[in-house]
Structure 1
Amino acid sequence: MTREPPTRPAAPYQGRWAALALLLTAVFMDMVDNQIVNIALPTIQRDLDAQPSALQWTATGYTLAFALTLITGGRLGDRFGHRTLFVLGTAGFGVASLAAGIAPGVAVLLAARVAQGVFAGLMVPQVLSFIHTEFSAAEQGRAMGFYGMTFPIGGLAGPLLGGLLTQADLFGWHWRTIFFINVPIALAAAVGAALVMPAPRRPGRGGADLPGVLVLAAALLAVLYPLVQGRELGWPTWVFLLMAAAIPLLVILVAQQRARQRRGREPLIRPGLFHSRAMSVGILVMLIFYCGMGAFFVLTLHLQNGLHYSPLKTALTMLPATVGIVAGNGIGMPMAPNLGRRLPMIGLTLLLAGTASMIAVVTRYGTDLTPWQMALPVLLYGAGLGLGASSLMLITLTGADAADAGAASGVVNTVVQLGMAAGPATVGTAFFSRLAADGDFAGATQISLLIGLALFAVALLACFLLPHPAPSAPPVTRTDIPTAGNDRR
């Protein structure tokens, strides 16, 4: 199949920054929703008289549906246009949020949460695709910096809003307010994106790859379900057999995608996408990077369960991390085009310093540990995340051309989800195993942080395999779109 060469418009799309603001509003909404539910779970359980196992699936169902939809959502954006998929995903997310808010029982709530995850999987990949296709190389670092800042701000706002809205009991809605708040935000983002985002550059080609979608979903589910549920289930044998089943499923997927491409039909994931060193090495480094972050999850357990910090005191202890992430993104990402792979390496060095400092203060102060003693290690850790996460995404996406931007964005986001599931699963298992042996929270936390330290060290070494930044090329004038005013709407 003959592919069009990657090209960019002669002048950037004039409404790109306004469109990015709307896109990031939706990302913020998704991050808040992912965090806000955990705070309200006890209230939901009492109100709906739900079993704990059924209630847990309101969080797990969202996570699985979101991760399973990302690659498909990204490829659909390539075919039908990123504006179309973003508007559809955002509007659907709002409708699903409304359904969750009016749910009369846990079954309807669970179905609504799964629908939220599916629509989020259609919505979120379009953001990275938009940054990759609509911003010049010189501007992508700044745009990715804003994207990277959205996550910690949403992650911090989620628990705070969850607690405030649940306790405020606005209009007597109790926990339902946490879902209703998404509806006006989703409506504004969907309408605004329909008006501001550019129209597709080219029509999509080929039919939907339904067999590829089904095989990919089965392979991801075989990995994600054990990672999400395995530790709580005690890691039975069938969990490992299920993860092993993902290997032949991925082999089948690769063969099916190659056969589809040979027949001249558009595959779900073009096999050539991974021929780029930026893409193949980048997703490997990202997977290790996000696995290492599982140790940060364990630290919150140590603070709340070991040192008996309140949720508010724990959140304040972690606040310097958010400051570090925002500062790291703001300072580092504008320099991303010039620094290339050195930027994530600097970030990982700060992560190593922050993790090592955490180990030192946890070991030295034990049960007398205070938030002030954690401030510098947590700040260093956050700055490392701010420099490392966004720059790794940016480098990885340079391995894809504009025609594959959605698929590449879906792959990147899926790898993030895999890492964020694998990190707490593996590091958490080590933590709870040590805790069960002697009840020593500090010792269990030290082991978990050491695992995180080792993973960050491996990721740092793997960064040497990333390509050096390519020299800037002059813009190529497109012949298939009008350039006057550069209005593709």
Structure 2
Amino acid sequence: MTPLDLRTTPRIHHPRRWAALVPALLACYMDLLDATIVTVALPAFEEDLGAGPATLQWTSAGYTLAFAVLLITGGRVGDIYGRKRTFVTGMAVFLLTSVLCGLARNPEMLVVSRVLQGAAAAMMIPQVLSFIQVEFPSPERPRALAMYGISLALGGMTGPVLGGLLIQADIAGLGWRAVFLINLPVGAAALLGALRLMPESRSGTAPKLDLVGVLLVTAALVAVMYPLVQGHETGWPLWTFLSFVAVMPILLFFSWHQRFRERSGGTPLIPARMSRHRSLRAGLPLALIFFAGTGHTFVFSLYLQQGLGYSSWRTGLTLFPSSLGIIAGSMLSIRLAPRLGRRVVSIAALVKIAGVVGVIYPIHVLGPALTPWALVPGAIVLGTGMAMVSATLVNIVLSKVPVQDAGAASGLMTTALQVGSAISIAVLGTVFFGSLTGTGDHRQAIEACLWVCVALFFASFVMSFLLPPGGVPATAADDRPPSAKDGGIRRSIPR
């Protein structure tokens, strides 16, 4: 290995970068696959493991929450210890935890394994975008990023359908366990490909990890999530409300710690200067509120299987049309964002409301006679609105942030999306199971959840007007060597 400091040397792009991109994209595919595939397996967890409502919520939300909390730290670990090394380690742990999920003998083992699986994903996924940024020159980068987006879309699209198929087929008597063990062949191929093809890179000025900051953020999120998920089963005792109250002091102490760490010359988890960017001040709470309404797939899968008696395979097929809307929404946002800017987010929020109402109406009118075909229009509209926001909001925010803060802002936005998704499962799960306990009516429970989604999407529509105006500039990042101020990138080139 010959070390190359790109702060003083012209950037040399790895000759096998396109081949090395394949295992990186397989990791992205598996991440989204694992985030969505469990939705159709929830009743199977309940039947086989005796999992209660809280376990079902933690199985989905635990993965997303661990991923969100450790996402920024995962990027920092790659900067310090090497992005290839961190990616390979994360992938190996991801495969190990997939096996643990598949071998789970009780609800507790399943939940803990899912949380560890999300943590492993947080180590490997940030390295993918870093790899694309470092190894691909400006003319090639849009194509590489498009392939990255496609891999995520494919994971989201195939998750419910593949999960339903695996459970229905009951391969080797594995049942629901196959939805986790399917990671082994895909992950093994990605791991071997990364070891063989991926170059190593790291930051020229390695920032120190802010472990205290990570612990404080984790404590704040757990103080929100734990009572939300467990409160219903325990009858909402006093400690649940005290936990909610504790969130604000924890966040205030976190804010003080970040300023103290920055003044002391350390690297804070969230630089204080981030609060000066208007686009972030508006975009972060908007992302949290909007994605807090996106857990409808979690409760909808329960409604289809528990309320209507759908099989896992039929449930997966019923959820699939929203993926067609995601494709349409992605294409629309590419055309509209440069001209309409924040108005795309406003329109998308209204589209999401229309999609939710388009699902509520046939559920309410048809009741037990509901068919998958009656849900197709609403599902497609829901997917369209989701993609329009996902593809546009981050671009709007980052286009208004100075280049030197783009990396930190990108990590914050991605974290906000994931935290919102995790909170959504907790909130909608609480509404669903709470309504079900009171009435035993699955239709009333799902309608209550969907009206909560309508309220959250309307709040997102109102908040979208706080985003900075103007279109999203379609500019590629320059290909200059990073300056010393940027931190540089130190890379080892295989000889």
TM bin (shorter chain):
0.7 to 0.9
CA distance in 2, matches of 1:54, 1:430: 12
Question: CA-to-partner distance for each residue in 1:296-333, whole Å, 9 max, x for gaps?
Answer: 44444443344333333333222211211123224534
Question: CA-to-partner distance for each residue in 1:121-175, whole Å, 9 max, x for gaps?
Answer: 212333455567768599387456425513422432452354156x111xx7666
2:481 corresponds to which letter in structure 1? R
Q: Which residue, out of 152, 157, 164, partners 1:153? A: 157
Q: Is the 8 A contact 1:347 1:384 kept in 2?
A: yes
- Tell me how far 1:12 sits from its aligned partner: 8.4
CA 79–400 in structure 1, closer or farther in 2 if over 3 Å, else same: farther
Q: What is the percentage of aligned positions where both structures have the same residue?
A: 39
Q: Runs of 5+ in structure 1 lacking a partner?
A: 1-5
Question: CA-to-partner distance for each residue in 1:379-426, whole Å, 9 max, x for gaps?
Answer: 111111122223223334446667666654543343233222332433
**2:222 alignment counterpart:** 221
CA 338–87 in structure 1, closer or farther in 2 if over 3 Å, else same: farther
**2:417 alignment counterpart:** 416
Q: Is the 8 A contact 1:13 1:487 kept in 2?
A: no
**1:287 alignment counterpart:** 288
CA distance in 1, matches of 2:318, 2:352: 17
**2:396 alignment counterpart:** 395
**2:376 alignment counterpart:** 375
Q: Is the 8 A contact 1:76 1:85 kept in 2?
A: yes
CA 232–130 in structure 1, closer or farther in 2 if over 3 Å, else same: farther
CA 398–238 in structure 1, closer or farther in 2 if over 3 Å, else same: farther
- Tell me how far 1:89 sits from its aligned partner: 1.1
**2:142 alignment counterpart:** 139
Establish whether residue 475 from structure 1 lines up as the match of residue 460 from structure 2: no
1:120 corresponds to which letter in structure 2? A
For the residue of structure 1 that corresponds to 2:70, the secondary structure is helix
CA 385–174 in structure 1, closer or farther in 2 if over 3 Å, else same: closer
**1:87 alignment counterpart:** 88
Question: When the two structures are superposed, what TM-score results if normalisation uses the length of structure 1?
Answer: 0.80
Question: When the two structures are superposed, what TM-score results if normalisation uses the length of structure 2?
Answer: 0.79
CA 300–439 in structure 1, closer or farther in 2 if over 3 Å, else same: same
For the residue of structure 1 that corresponds to 2:275, the secondary structure is helix
Q: Is the 8 A contact 1:68 1:217 kept in 2?
A: yes
1:462 corresponds to which letter in structure 2? M
- Tell me how far 1:180 sits from its aligned partner: 3.9
Q: Runs of 5+ in structure 2 lacking a partner?
A: 1-6, 485-490
- Tell me how far 1:73 sits from its aligned partner: 1.3
Aligned residues: 475
Q: Is the 8 A contact 2:39 2:301 kept in 1?
A: no
**1:244 alignment counterpart:** 245
For the residue of structure 2 that corresponds to 1:124, the secondary structure is helix
CA distance in 1, matches of 2:403, 2:192: 25
Q: Is the 8 A contact 1:328 1:383 kept in 2?
A: yes
CA distance in 1, matches of 2:42, 2:421: 21
For the residue of structure 1 that corresponds to 2:451, the secondary structure is helix
**1:274 alignment counterpart:** 275
CA distance in 1, matches of 2:138, 2:285: 25
2:246 corresponds to which letter in structure 1? A
Q: Is the 8 A contact 1:224 1:418 kept in 2?
A: no
CA distance in 2, matches of 1:176, 1:373: 31
Q: What does 1:121-140 align with in structure 2 at a 5 Å threshold? A: 121-129=122-130, 139=142
Q: Is the 8 A contact 2:29 2:151 kept in 1?
A: no
1:276 corresponds to which letter in structure 2? H
**1:3 alignment counterpart:** none
CA distance in 2, matches of 1:304, 1:50: 16
**2:3 alignment counterpart:** none
Q: Is the 8 A contact 1:40 1:162 kept in 2?
A: no
CA 210–347 in structure 1, closer or farther in 2 if over 3 Å, else same: same
Q: Is the 8 A contact 1:343 1:391 kept in 2?
A: yes
For the residue of structure 2 that corresponds to 1:200, the secondary structure is strand
- Tell me how far 1:376 sits from its aligned partner: 0.9
CA 12–346 in structure 1, closer or farther in 2 if over 3 Å, else same: farther
CA 244–406 in structure 1, closer or farther in 2 if over 3 Å, else same: farther
**2:488 alignment counterpart:** none
Q: Is the 8 A contact 2:62 2:115 kept in 1?
A: yes
**2:359 alignment counterpart:** 358
For the residue of structure 2 that corresponds to 1:269, the secondary structure is coil
CA 74–224 in structure 1, closer or farther in 2 if over 3 Å, else same: farther
CA 195–209 in structure 1, closer or farther in 2 if over 3 Å, else same: same
Question: CA-to-partner distance for each residue in 1:354-388, whole Å, 9 max, x for gaps?
Answer: 12222333333333332222211111111111222
CA distance in 2, matches of 1:265, 1:11: 31
Q: Is the 8 A contact 2:351 2:382 kept in 1?
A: yes
Moved more, 97-106 or 240-249: 97-106
**1:163 alignment counterpart:** 167
CA distance in 2, matches of 1:260, 1:217: 18
CA distance in 2, matches of 1:129, 1:117: 19
